[in-house]
């Protein structure tokens, strides 16, 4: 209905515009005629009275046409206002229509979901109770006796679905129960063994910590003494990097040879590092003596004076420990009791030569 009204107003507006255009064209024609009448040539043809009457006539027509044009414009404005109002109404109706369409769509979706749920429930009814929807409705309307019979029938069907009774279930339960008890006992034994091992580990860690601390301080004391004897002065020390964790700590060697400042072992010269390592070796031997010891060119980096000190100090340990020393240094060989050498008098033929220095002396 609104669309038809809009169409009518549109047609009316077109007609009014067409009439307005025609009136405008007529007005222009009348104005041209009036101008021609007022021209000099027209004055020659018509008398003054006729011209005046013609002017008055055309003026009246002009006023009438102007009024018609104004009325047409007013009608056009009214029609345009009505058209705008109808367009707003049309938009409002379209918005309401879209709302109805959306509501219908939502209702259709809900209806579809409900249909799916109904179908699912009907399928469960048939699968679990062997009943159709109609039978379920009839069952709901049965009397009490019929309902009880139906329930009994359903219980029998459920019992049949359980299948035959497993007669060996009791024996199987006993077997599984024994197996469970055995495994539980084994698990408890393992837990007790784990706790015992952890206790032993803690005791061993405590014992190792105690022994390490005792041995470290003994070696530290001997190292300080032996270092002074080998270097002829100076001082040295052993420092733990992590005293709180004795089992994971490292050990740093701090040495101060005579005439030098206290510094880390890595900052000493090659000979000083070698003599410091020898001092640490002798300190360990003082704390834990061994029956024999093999030294392979440990004094190679020492100068002659330190080689002599090394040889003399090595001589002190020879009463308790037998040393096998591999060396090319003259000072070390002079302090040895027996020398063993390899000679090659002929090409490709090696020969062992030994000298007992005590006998020669």
Is residue 324 predicted with pLDDT exceeding 80? Answer: yes
More confident residue, 286 or 44: 286
CATH architecture entry for 212-288:
3-Layer(aba) Sandwich (3.40)
State which H helix or E strand residue 131 sits in.
Answer: none
Q: What pLDDT shows up at residue 42?
A: 46
More confident residue, 252 or 61: 252
Among 2-6, 244-248, 324-328, which stretch is predicted with the lowest mean pLDDT?
Answer: 2-6
Residue with structure tokens 């409002």?
A: 92
State which H helix or E strand residue 351 sits in.
Answer: strand 349-356
Q: Strand runs (DSSP E) across 262-319, as ranges?
A: 263-264, 292-296
Q: Where are the domains of the chain?
A: 2-124, 212-288, 291-361
Q: What pLDDT shows up at residue 110?
A: 87
Q: Per the structure block, which two tokens stand in for 2?
A: 């609104």
- 3-state class of 261 per DSSP? coil
Q: What is the pLDDT of residues 183-241, one digit of tens each?
A: 999 999 999 999 999 999 988 988 898 888 888 889 989 888 888 888 888 888 888 88
Is residue 69 predicted with pLDDT exceeding 90? Answer: no
More confident residue, 285 or 43: 285
Over residues 170-177, the mean pLDDT reads: 84
CATH number of 291-361, picked from 1.10.357.10, 3.30.9.10, 3.40.50.300, 3.40.50.720: 3.40.50.300
Q: What is the pLDDT of residues 288-304, one digit of tens each?
A: 888 888 888 888 888 88
Query: Residue 145: pLDDT band by 50, 70, 90 thresholds?
Result: low
Q: What pLDDT shows up at residue 105?
A: 86
Quick one: what percent of the chain has pLDDT higher than 70? 84
Q: What is the pLDDT of residues 73-91, one digit of tens each?
A: 787 788 788 778 878 888 8
Say yes or no: do domains 212-288 and 291-361 share a fold. Answer: yes
């Amino acid at each position: 209905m609104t669309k038809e009204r809009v169409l009518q107003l549109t047609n009316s507006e077109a007609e009014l515009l067409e009439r307005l255009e025609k009136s405008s064209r007529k007005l222009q024609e009348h104005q041209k005629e009036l101008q021609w009448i007022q021209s000099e040539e027209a004055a020659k043809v018509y008398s003054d009275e006729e011209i005046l009457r013609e002017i008055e006539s055309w003026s009246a027509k002009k006023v009438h046409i102007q009024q018609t044009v104004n009325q047409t414009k007013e009608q056009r404005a009214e029609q345009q206002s009505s058209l705008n109002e109808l367009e707003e109404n049309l938009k409002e109706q379209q918005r309401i229509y879209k709302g109805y369409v959306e509501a219908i769509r939502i209702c259709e979706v809900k209806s579809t979901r409900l249909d799916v749920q109904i179908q699912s429930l009907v399928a469960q009814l048939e699968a679990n109770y062997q009943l159709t929807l109609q039978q379920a409705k009839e069952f709901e309307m049965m009397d009490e006796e019929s309902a009880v019979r139906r329930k009994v029938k359903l219980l029998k069907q459920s019992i049949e679905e359980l299948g035959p009774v497993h007669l060996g279930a009791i024996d199987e339960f006993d077997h599984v129960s024994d197996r469970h008890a055995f495994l539980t006992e084994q698990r408890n034994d393992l837990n007790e063994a784990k706790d015992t091992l952890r206790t032993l580990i803690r005791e061993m860690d405590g014992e190792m910590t105690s022994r390490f601390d005792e041995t470290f301080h003994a070696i530290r004391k001997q190292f300080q003494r032996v270092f002074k004897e080998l270097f002829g002065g100076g001082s040295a020390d052993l420092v733990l990097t992590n005293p709180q964790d004795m089992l994971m700590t490292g050990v740093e060697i701090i040495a101060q040879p005579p005439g030098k400042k206290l510094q880390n072992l890595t900052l000493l010269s090659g000979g000083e590092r070698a003599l410091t390592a020898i001092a640490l070796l002798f300190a360990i031997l003082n704390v834990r003596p061994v029956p024999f010891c093999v030294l392979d060119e440990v004094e190679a980096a020492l100068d002659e004076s330190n080689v002599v000190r090394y040889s003399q100090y090595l001589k002190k340990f020879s009463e308790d420990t037998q040393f096998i020393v591999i060396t090319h240094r003259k000072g070390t060989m002079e302090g040895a009791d027996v020398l063993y050498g390899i000679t090659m008098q002929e090409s490709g033929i090696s020969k062992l030569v030994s000298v007992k220095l005590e006998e020669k002396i």
